[in-house]
């Protein structure tokens, strides 16, 4: 194996995922967390935001305001919308030239598609879907990821290869507030890809809601049990002033948008209140909601695993329980208290 | 193109998650005792490949990199309708993380002169989803991940895919050869036909390919070629939950109020 000289590598890079000027919130979450990691790095290293896309001036400025010391911008129409092949080639060139020590990427569908593509040619170590990041005494990235429903956290390291890469689940870290007084450098890099070399073409793209459920204080989540009828959970969510979310089953069936999916391949939420309605409690789902303060389960199967992971549960038909609960909440002594 | 497409499908045997237990004393996972099953997302990969066979007469070959005990998943693939199946097995592969795994499977795709390689979204035991893009990167082929639907265009030597993107979907045309990762649950896998099933169980023997057959230098694969190491496994403290099942909606509302949740 070609050994790399790990000492030649420095800086932390954060991939700013952006679609038509709209930045995926996980990018800012990663910048904030990477800024904390910078405390463990030598003083002369930089926190670098990497923005690939088209018309990125605003994105680059926001990256500085959100914590980056430097923004590398590859700005060209070829990068809009995202495609693995041109993004991958551009990234590889930049890595070869600048040798980043660590590269962090959001664990979205786009982020995973991109990370898997670029980790191979650089022979980087890539850890998927982390929820914890740290730097050990020797300066290695420690990437922690839950396994088996969060019962186990595996720490993955990459000692002899660079960059050390990780994808991180959306919603795990808190972004920094935008601070436009921050200083940083915006650097436009050479675009090294041409349309002739690409092997894919996006013919059609339809993006609807990109709701952010990760900040919600209260979440009502729908599962396979709703059978396509979102009425009950929407009424319950309204009564609780909660965001609506879903299990993967409800998303795959097309009842709920992917942006609202909770779990291993969706988002991580940690609200004060999580109400799981007609959700069985599969490990992949639990991983996305286990950090909620109070968990309520509504399910008609007394043996559903979700009851083991809930504070309060009720065995019953969700089509009855939801509306009765709405009525009970509205009857509470003081309606203001309910919504406070 | 006049030749039929050759489609390879990568599948993996995994421990049945519902069967994996945690030893309460040592905190270690009992994976060994769990029943071995086909990685559930790979069912969708097989279905997508078999649909290409139905649509353009492709030849479909399933393969798995794993120990000989993984043969049952190959039999299942053949029972479902794959033309052939290969076991990719060698001591040199032991300890491979996603980098050498994707390298090995890239060699296998080339060995079969594949036009299309179809894979699952991720495995339930390592759940990285990195192997398919890794294969595409090793081969420098086009990649299509999170694919919900395929639309073959042999006349243009292209494969069109509808893929899930955050908050929506897109349709992408890729030049062959191409690596596809099908979204878990994005199609309805067919059952095995009785006749095929009988054949798979009685007559069928998988091809066996080792590192040498694939032209792989043993130094390129296995533990030493794996950039990542597991630095430790900590049992996370299980989240303490009340686990109280209440009898009425009123009690539930009261419990929520008491918790300060409403
Ligand atoms: C690689 C991979 C990644 C995955 N990622 C995720 C992920 O990110 N998020 C996720 O959620 N899942 C994920 N899954 C899927 C997961 O394994 C489960 O299949 C999924 O969570 C099941 O969703 P569900 O519990 O809503 O549906 P079901 O399994 O269909 O369960 C429905 C539940 O509703 C109850 N019910 C039915 N009718 C009623 C009624 N009238 N009233 C009350 N209760 C009722 C049933 O008793 C049952 O418990 C993933 C799977 C894999 C393999
Ligand atoms: N050992 C293997 N043999 C064949 N295919 C594999 C193997 N490991 C992973 N794959 C394929 O790659 C997909 C993604 O796996 P992973 O990247 O491990 O999550 C799986 O759904 C399989 O289709």
User: ipTM value of the model?
Assistant: 0.91
Residues A126 and A191 in one domain: yes
Residues A296 and A259 in one domain: yes
Are A326 and A307 within 8 A, CB to CB?
Answer: no
The domains of chain B are located at 6-258
pLDDT at A334: 53
Poorest-pLDDT segment among A185-199, B55-69, B161-175: B161-175
Cβ neighbours of B77 (radius 10 Å): 31
Q: Where in chain A does DSSP place strands (E)?
A: 10-16, 18-19, 22-23, 47-53, 70-75, 100-106, 125-130, 132-135, 141-147, 152-157, 164-168, 185-188, 200-207, 218-222, 243-246, 273-277, 294-299, 312-315
Considering only the beta carbons, identify the residue of A82, A290, A310 that sits closest to B243: A310
**Could you tell me if residue A205 is inside a domain?**
no
Q: Please identify, among A139, A169, A197, the residue that sits at the C-terminal boundary of a domain.
A: A197
Residues A217 and A146 in one domain: no
Give the residue-averaged pLDDT of B91-95: 93
Task: State which of A150, A279, A321 you would mutate to test the pocket of ligand 1, scoring each by most atoms of that ligand within 8 A of its C-beta.
Answer: A279
Q: Is B121 in contact with A218 (Cβ distance < 8 A)?
A: no
pLDDT at B25: 63
| Pairing state between β A164-168 and A125-130 | parallel
Taking CB atoms and an 8 Å cutoff, what residues of chain A touch B102? 120
CATH code, domain with A148: 3.40.50.620
**Could you tell me if residue A220 is inside a domain?**
yes
Q: What is the mean pLDDT of chain B?
A: 92
Q: Please identify, among A197, A222, A250, the residue that sits at the C-terminal boundary of a domain.
A: A197
| CB-ligand 1 contact for B42 (6 Å cutoff) | no
Q: What's the pLDDT band for B29 if we cut at 50, 70, 90?
A: low
Q: Please identify, among A139, A168, A197, the residue that sits at the C-terminal boundary of a domain.
A: A197
pLDDT at B27: 57
Residues of chain A short of pLDDT 70, as ranges, are 1-3, 148-150, 209, 332-340
| CB-ligand 1 contact for A305 (6 Å cutoff) | no
Residues A179 and A220 in one domain: no
pLDDT at B126: 79
**Could you tell me if residue A140 is inside a domain?**
yes
Residues A114 and A231 in one domain: no
Number of domains in chain A: 2
pLDDT at B166: 80
Residues A11 and A132 in one domain: yes
d(CA A27, CA A243): 22
pTM of the model: 0.91
pLDDT at B10: 98
Q: Is the pLDDT of residue B1 over 50?
A: no
Closest C-alpha among A109, A120, A122, A60 to residue A82: A109
Residues A146 and A217 in one domain: no
Tell me the residue length of chain A. 340
Identify the domain containing residue A32 by its residue range.
6-197
Residues A269 and A226 in one domain: yes
Residues A61 and A122 in one domain: yes
Give the residue-averaged pLDDT of B46-65: 97
| Cα–Cα–Cα angle for A200, A126, B174, rounded to 5 degrees | 10
- The rounded Å distance from CA A258 to ligand 2 centre is 23
Are A89 and A81 within 8 A, CB to CB?
Answer: no
Question: Is domain B6-258 annotated with CATH 3.40.50.2300?
Answer: no
Q: Is A129 helix (H, G, I), strand (E, B) or coil?
A: strand
Torsion over CA: A184, A194, A110, B73 (sign):
negative
Nearest CA in chain B to A211: B167
Q: Where are the alpha helices (DSSP H) in chain B?
A: 40-56, 71-80, 98-111, 131-139, 194-202, 211-214, 249-258
Q: Which numbered ligand comes closest to the C-alpha of B106? A: 2
Are B64 and B101 within 8 A, CB to CB?
Answer: no
Residues A176 and A258 in one domain: no
Residues A293 and A250 in one domain: yes
- The rounded Å distance from CA B209 to ligand 2 centre is 17
Angstrom CA distances, A138 to A134, A141, A157, stand at 11, 9, 11
Residues A51 and A169 in one domain: yes
What phi and psi, each to the nearest 5 degrees, are found at residue B170?
A: -140, 160
Closest C-alpha among B27, B240, B184 to residue A148: B27
């Amino acid at each position: 194996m070609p050994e790399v000289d790990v000492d030649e590598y420095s800086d932390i890079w954060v991939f700013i995922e952006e679609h038509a000027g709209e930045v995926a919130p996980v990018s800012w979450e990663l910048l904030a967390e990477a800024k904390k990691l910078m405390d463990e790095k030598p003083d002369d290293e930089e926190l670098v935001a990497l923005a690939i896309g088209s018309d990125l001036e605003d994105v680059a400025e926001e990256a500085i305001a959100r914590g980056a010391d430097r923004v590398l911008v590859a700005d060209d129409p070829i990068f809009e919308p995202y495609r693995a092949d041109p993004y991958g080639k551009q990234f590889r060139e930049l890595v070869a030239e600048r040798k980043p020590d660590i590269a962090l990427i959001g664990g979205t569908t786009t982020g995973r598609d991109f990370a898997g593509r670029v980790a191979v040619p650089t022979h980087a170590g890539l850890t998927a879907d982390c929820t914890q990041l740290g730097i050990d005494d020797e300066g290695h990235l420690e990437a922690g990821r839950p396994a088996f429903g969060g019962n186990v956290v595996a720490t993955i390291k990459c000692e002899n290869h660079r960059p050390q890469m990780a994808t991180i689940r959306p919603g795990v870290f808190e972004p920094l507030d935008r601070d436009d007084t921050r200083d940083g450098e915006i650097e436009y890099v050479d675009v090294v890809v041409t349309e002739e070399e690409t092997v894919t073409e996006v013919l059609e793209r339809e993006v609807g809601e990109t709701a952010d459920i990760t900040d919600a204080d209260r979440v009502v989540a729908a599962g396979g049990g709703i059978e396509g009828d979102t009425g009950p959970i929407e009424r319950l969510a309204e009564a609780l002033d909660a965001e609506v979310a879903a299990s993967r089953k409800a998303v795959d069936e097309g009842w709920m948008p992917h942006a609202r999916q909770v779990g291993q391949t969706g988002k991580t939420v940690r609200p004060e209140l999580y109400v799981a309605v007609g959700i069985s409690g599969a490990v992949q789902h639990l991983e996305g909601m286990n950090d909620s303060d109070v968990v309520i389960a509504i399910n008609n199967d007394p043996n559903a695993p979700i009851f083991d992971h809930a504070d309060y549960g009720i065995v019953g038909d969700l089509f009855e329980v939801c509306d009765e609960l709405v009525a009970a909440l509205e009857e509470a002594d003081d309606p203001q208290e309910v919504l406070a | 193109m006049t030749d039929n497409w050759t489609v390879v499908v990568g599948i993996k045997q995994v421990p049945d998650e519902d069967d994996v237990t945690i030893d309460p004393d040592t905190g270690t996972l009992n994976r060994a005792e769990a029943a071995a099953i086909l990685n559930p997302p790979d069912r969708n990969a097989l279905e997508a490949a078999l649909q290409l066979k139905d649509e353009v007469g492709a030849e479909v070959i399933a393969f798995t990199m794993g120990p000989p005990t993984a043969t049952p998943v190959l039999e299942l693939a053949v029972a479902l309708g794959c033309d052939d199946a290969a076991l990719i097995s060698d001591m040199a592969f032991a300890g491979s993380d996603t980098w050498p795994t994707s390298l090995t499977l890239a060699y296998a795709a080339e060995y079969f002169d594949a036009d299309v390689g179809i894979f699952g979204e991720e495995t339930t035991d390592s759940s990285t989803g990195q192997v398919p893009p890794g294969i595409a990167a090793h081969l420098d082929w086009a990649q299509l991940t999170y694919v919900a639907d395929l639309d073959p265009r042999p006349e243009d030597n292209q494969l069109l895919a509808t893929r899930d993107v955050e908050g929506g979907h897109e349709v992408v045309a890729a030049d062959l050869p191409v690596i596809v990762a099908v979204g878990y649950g994005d199609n309805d896998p067919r059952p095995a036909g009785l006749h095929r099933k009988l054949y798979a169980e009685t007559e069928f023997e998988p091809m066996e390919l080792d590192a040498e057959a694939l032209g792989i230098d043993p130094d390129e694969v296995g533990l030493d070629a794996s950039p990542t190491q597991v630095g430790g496994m900590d049992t996370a403290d299980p989240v303490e939950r009340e686990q109280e099942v209440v009898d009425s909606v009123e009690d539930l509302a009261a419990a929520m109020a008491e918790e300060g949740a409403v």
